[in-house]
Amino acid sequence: MKVRVTYKTGDIDLDDVFAGENAKEIVTSIQKTTASRSSNMGYMIQVLTPEEFAWEAIKFVNNERGWDLPIPYNCDQFMDVGMKGGFIKPVPNE
């Protein structure tokens, strides 16, 4: 599975393709990349579980954008919510 994540806020600018066998692998990769690009919150992002990161990421998006996306409780839900929000898009296999 491959997805493109496009999201920009503050010092975090994502426009990257992430791949993995399942949603948890992809969310873990998104989390690592986000942490490495964040000067303020990098360490805090690193210590979260992938599920906690997914939950916090959607809470952040909702607060920042004034949206009301459902809060995910696992990585599969995060992928679904991100696709509905338009910042996660599937990348076709080549």
The contacts of residue 52 (CB under 8 Å, 6+ apart) are none
Q: Looking at residue 67, what DSSP letter applies?
A: -
Distance CA 30, CA 77 (A): 15
Please list the pLDDT of the chain residue by residue as tens digits (94 residues): 999 999 998 778 999 999 999 999 999 999 999 999 988 888 899 999 999 999 999 999 999 999 999 999 999 999 999 999 999 999 997 7
Q: Looking at residue 48, what DSSP letter applies?
A: S
Query: Coil, helix or strand for 1?
Result: coil
Q: What's the pTM value of the predicted model, to 2 decimals?
A: 0.92
Query: What pLDDT shows up at residue 86?
Result: 96
- Three-class DSSP labels, 69-87: CCCCCCHHHHHHHHHHHCC
Query: Coil, helix or strand for 30?
Result: helix
Query: What pLDDT shows up at residue 11?
Result: 79
